[in-house]
């Protein structure tokens, strides 16, 4: 049975999204500076390998995991000279394809929102990481600043403390049983990380000024220069629509 992304032109999604892409690359590289040594990295939900250049210089062994054979094939064609192992699997089934405690770091970017159970997903990813290893996790922030402001205008004053994940699919998408698309409350994710034996090292608030009309006025370079200065301080209030977390598996 083909995966959802086998029938979708995912690379085209990133056309015109240079600001979002470079914001994520900067966050990953900044967080990797906190990790002294990485022998192997498993990129869970790697897609066509969009983020490989952001971490390949830090490791000798790369494992790309994705449920889409089409995207994994594209990744192989993009990086023929790198030492990459390809695994066709969903994140929730990763332990059936990889040994326990086999990688120094797992990277999960733009993938948790598609997990049907975030708890199961994190438990499975945790198992493949060595003790003392790292997890670099991204998740869509349900409680970002603009969402809080909108809910406040609606009179929903309990929104900031509601940690229930929010499925943002349209009614039509729900009827068609498309992939889930959940946004998460920061407290929910940080609680799950602690339950799985992780200690949070650093957070980044990413894509903080993701405003289409502003891109046209000031340009991508200005937005990125500003973004780089905002990621760390704004993480303290979980400001942006995307949160990146670097955590260490301490047991």
> Where is 234: in which H helix or E strand?
helix 220-235
Q: Which long-range contacts (CB under 8 A, 24 or more apart) does 8-17 make?
A: 10/47, 10/48, 10/71, 11/48, 11/50, 11/74, 14/50
pTM of the model: 0.95
pLDDT value at residue 2:
67
**Burial class of residue 86 (count of CB atoms within 10 Å of its CB; 0-12, 13-18, 19+):** middle
pLDDT value at residue 129:
98
Q: What is the DSSP letter of 46?
A: -
Residues in the chain with pLDDT < 70?
Answer: 1-2, 174-176
Tens digits of per-residue pLDDT, 124-147? Answer: 999 999 999 999 999 999 999 999
Output the CA–CA distances (angstroms, integers) from residue 59 to 23, 33, 83, 197, in the order listed.
21, 13, 10, 24
CATH code, domain with 172: 3.40.50.150
Q: How many CB atoms lie within 10 A of CB 195?
A: 12
Query: What interhelical angle do 18-32 and 220-235 show, nearest 10?
Result: 40
pLDDT value at residue 171:
78
The total number of structural domains that make up the chain: 1
pLDDT value at residue 36:
92
Residue 184, phi then psi, degrees to nearest 5: -120, 150
Among all chains, which residue has been given the structure tokens 């994190």? 122
- CA-nearest of 1, 213, 40, 250 to 126 is 250
User: Strand 40-44 vs strand 61-66: parallel, antiparallel, or unpaired?
Assistant: parallel
Q: What angle do CA 100, 67, 144 make, to 5 degrees?
A: 90
pLDDT value at residue 211:
86
Tens digits of per-residue pLDDT, 154-191? Answer: 999 999 999 999 999 887 776 667 888 999 999 999 99
- Whole-angstrom distance between the N-terminal and C-terminal Cα of the chain? 37
Residue 244, phi then psi, degrees to nearest 5: -110, 135
**Burial class of residue 106 (count of CB atoms within 10 Å of its CB; 0-12, 13-18, 19+):** buried
- Give the domain extent around 33: 4-249
Contact 189, 137 (CB under 8 A): yes
Q: 3-class secondary structure for 60-112?
A: CEEEEEECCHHHHHHHHHHCCCCCEEEEECCHHHHHHCCCCCCEEEEEECCCH
């Amino acid at each position: 049975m083909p995966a959802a992304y086998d029938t979708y032109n995912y690379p085209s999604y990133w056309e015109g999204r240079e600001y979002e892409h470079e914001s994520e690359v900067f966050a990953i590289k900044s967080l990797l500076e906190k990790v002294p040594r990485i022998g192997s990295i498993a990129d869970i939900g790697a897609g066509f390998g969009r983020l490989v250049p952001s971490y390949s210089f830090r490791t000798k062994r790369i494992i790309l995991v994705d449920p889409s054979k089409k995207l994994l094939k594209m990744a192989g064609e993009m990086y023929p000279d790198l030492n990459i192992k390809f695994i066709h699997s969903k994140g929730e089934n990763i332990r059936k394809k990889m040994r326990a405690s086999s990688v120094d770091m797992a990277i999960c970017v733009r993938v948790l929102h598609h997990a049907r159970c975030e708890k199961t997903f994190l438990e499975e990813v945790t198992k493949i990481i060595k003790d003392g290893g790292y997890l670099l996790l991204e998740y869509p922030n349900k409680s970002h600043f603009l969402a809080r402001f909108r809910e406040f205008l609606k009179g929903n004053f309990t929104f900031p403390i509601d940690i229930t994940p929010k499925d943002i699919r349209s009614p039509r998408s729900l009827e068609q049983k498309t992939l889930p698309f959940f946004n998460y409350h920061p407290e929910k994710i940080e609680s799950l990380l602690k339950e799985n034996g992780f200690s949070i090292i650093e957070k980044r608030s990413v894509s903080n000024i993701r405003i289409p009309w502003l891109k046209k006025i000031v340009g991508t370079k200005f937005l990125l220069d500003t973004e780089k200065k905002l990621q760390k301080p704004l993480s303290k209030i979980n400001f942006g629509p995307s949160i990146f977390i670097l955590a260490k598996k301490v047991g």
